[in-house]
A and B are shown apart, each in its own frame.
Chain A
Amino acid sequence: MANALKPLTPLGHDAPQSDTIGAITITENPNTALASLAARLGREAEVASLAAAAGIPLPGPGQSEAAATYGAIWLGPQQWMVEAAFATHEDISAILKPIFGEAASITEQTDAWVRFDVTSTTLPALFERLCSFDLHKAGAGAATRTVIDHLGCYVIRRTDTRVTILGPRSSAHSLHHALTTAAKALS
């Protein structure tokens, strides 16, 4: 008997969940494919030129950058997380590997993470309750890994009013609880 496999979002529903608490909106976003990219030793310049030719931005430390098809977040020295739309790049690592060949190591990351997009005009007030990443200082384009409720998360400031959080998918509910609790404290 055919038993079609049905994908669930990280929070376990058919459709992504969105919560609006006061002036803060927290939306689960499963529409991004992720792969980590690490330049191999001695081939850093080669990776930079291949990435530029393929339209993959490679931002500097503590930064993120978005281009037409790909976006990227700096993870560590010579390491980035590459983002693309899930609809067109579901098999993102298979797409990236031919671009970089043996010059870089690429690992599929899509299903390891839950992505929450948080929009608010009071983002610094929210995030000073959540983590030690100071959004008063970090403007649009800043991105870092930090701790939110004991969970190692990437915090990416897309614009002044929108932040993306990448957290461990297996702890999606705990992270969601932390975000909504902090949002309720502000409303």
Chain B
Amino acid sequence: MIINHPLLGPRDSQEFIYLGDAALIHRPDGMAEGALERFVDYTYLRDNPAGSHRELWYHEQGDRSWLVVTRDTTTHEITAVEMARDVARAEGRSK
């Protein structure tokens, strides 16, 4: 599988480490009301779609950037690769 890194171009997936669902970007606020329930959800519950899935990959043997890869879980077709930093900022997670 080849991941088309937004900065470095096509790179072999062996250089990457898979973390999981890109929803992990949205860590709940531990001090908020109902935090326990939201942390149980965040820690243990995952969607398991057959089809398009947004997931976090880490370029461990490369430039060590985190990526959000949109991959079809049934065909492994990759339709989008973004820098996780840009995604998090666009979704209001980071300053």
The residue of chain B having its C-beta at the shortest distance from the C-beta of A75 within the complex is: B63
**Range for the number of chain A residues in contact with chain B:** 10 to 19
Interface flags, A63-88, vs B, CB<8A=1, else 0: 00000000000111100000000000
Count of chain B residues with a beta carbon within 8 Å of a chain A beta carbon: 15
Interface flags, B41-64, vs A, CB<8A=1, else 0: 000000000000000000001111
Contact (Cβ within 8 A) A145 B12: no
A146: contacting residue among B15, B64, B65, CB under 8 A: B15
Write out the residue numbers on chain B whose beta carbons fall within 8 Å of the beta carbon of A41. 95
A145: contacting residue among B14, B62, B83, CB under 8 A: B62
Write out the residue numbers on chain B whose beta carbons fall within 8 Å of the beta carbon of A144. 8, 62-63
Q: How far is the CA of A77 from the CA of B7 in the complex (A)?
A: 9
The residue of chain B having its C-beta at the shortest distance from the C-beta of A60 within the complex is: B7
Contact (Cβ within 8 A) A62 B8: yes
Contact (Cβ within 8 A) B65 A132: no
- Summed over the interface, the residue pairs from A and B with CB atoms below 8 Å come to a total of 34
Residue B92 interfacial (CB < 8 Å): no
Smallest beta-carbon distance A58→chain B, Å: 14
Residue B71 interfacial (CB < 8 Å): no
Interface flags, A146-179, vs B, CB<8A=1, else 0: 1100001000000000000000000000000000
Q: How far is the CA of A181 from the CA of B63 in the complex (A)?
A: 27
Q: How far is the CA of A76 from the CA of B65 in the complex (A)?
A: 7
Write out the residue numbers on chain A whose beta carbons fall within 8 Å of the beta carbon of B63. 61, 74-77, 144-145
Write out the residue numbers on chain A whose beta carbons fall within 8 Å of the beta carbon of B11. 132
- B: residues with CB less than 8 A from A are 7-9, 11-12, 14-15, 61-65, 83, 85, 95
Q: A76-B64, A144-B8 are in contact. List 4 more A-B contacts (CB 8 A).
A: A62-B7, A76-B65, A77-B83, A132-B14
7 pairs of residues in contact across A and B, judged by CB atoms under 8 Å:
A62-B7, A77-B7, A132-B11, A144-B8, A144-B63, A146-B61, A146-B62
